[in-house]
Amino acid sequence: MILIVGLGNPGKKYCRTRHNVGFMVIDELADKYNLIFTKKEHYCIAKGQIQNQDITVVKPLTYMNLSGMAVKQLVNQKILNNLPNSLIVIHDDLDLPVGKMKIKKNGSSGGHKGVQSIIDFLGTKNFIRIKIGIGKDPLQEVSDYVLSPFSKEQKAIIKEKISQAVDSIVTIISEGVDKAMNLYNREEI
């Protein structure tokens, strides 16, 4: 079983904000594979298969800073023993330019509070991350920036990157994280 978690904040107020790019990837993945979400107390969840591998896709409803609570519940239920390969987390990254994507096997949260929450609740940094760059605006407070929508120009870039993130998830599942890192972490992509 592979658990795929997109980070974001629930509700219409946040649905198109930069901080919800993880939810956007999960939604596109679910659409592509005809996965139907069920709402639970702390998350929306859908189950299916990709490349003959059982998957569970999740959007935590605990708000970004408590994402680890929902992930911990699911990890406990699924008894995922094969970290990092059984947990993939998709999230926004302020330190990457808009539209740049980076796949990592493990490491620190890089200041991302949703990722830090997962690390804290699981007690490990050992899981796969797909980071999607949202850039920074030096004239705006970080919290205001991440909770604002993409500009018109950025929307086209992000739409393409969301599709690429979905493809990278399929590559991770079918060919492994190292292959996905080699394909998708290149500068020209």
Place of tokens 């796949």: 103
- 1 and 78 in contact (C-beta within 8 Å)? yes
C-alpha–C-alpha distance, residues 77 and 113, integer Å: 23
Which DSSP category does 82 fall into?
Answer: S
Q: Which residue(s) pair with 45 in the sheet?
A: 38, 58
Q: What is the CA radius of gyration of the chain?
A: 15
- Distance, in Å, from the CA atom of 40 to the CA atom of 35, rounded to the nearest integer, reads 16
Q: Which of 82, 90, 89 is nearest to 161 (CA)?
A: 90
Active site residue 19: yes
CB 26 within 8 A of CB 54: no
- Of the listed 19, 42, 91, 112, which one is catalytic? 19
The residues assigned a catalytic role are 19
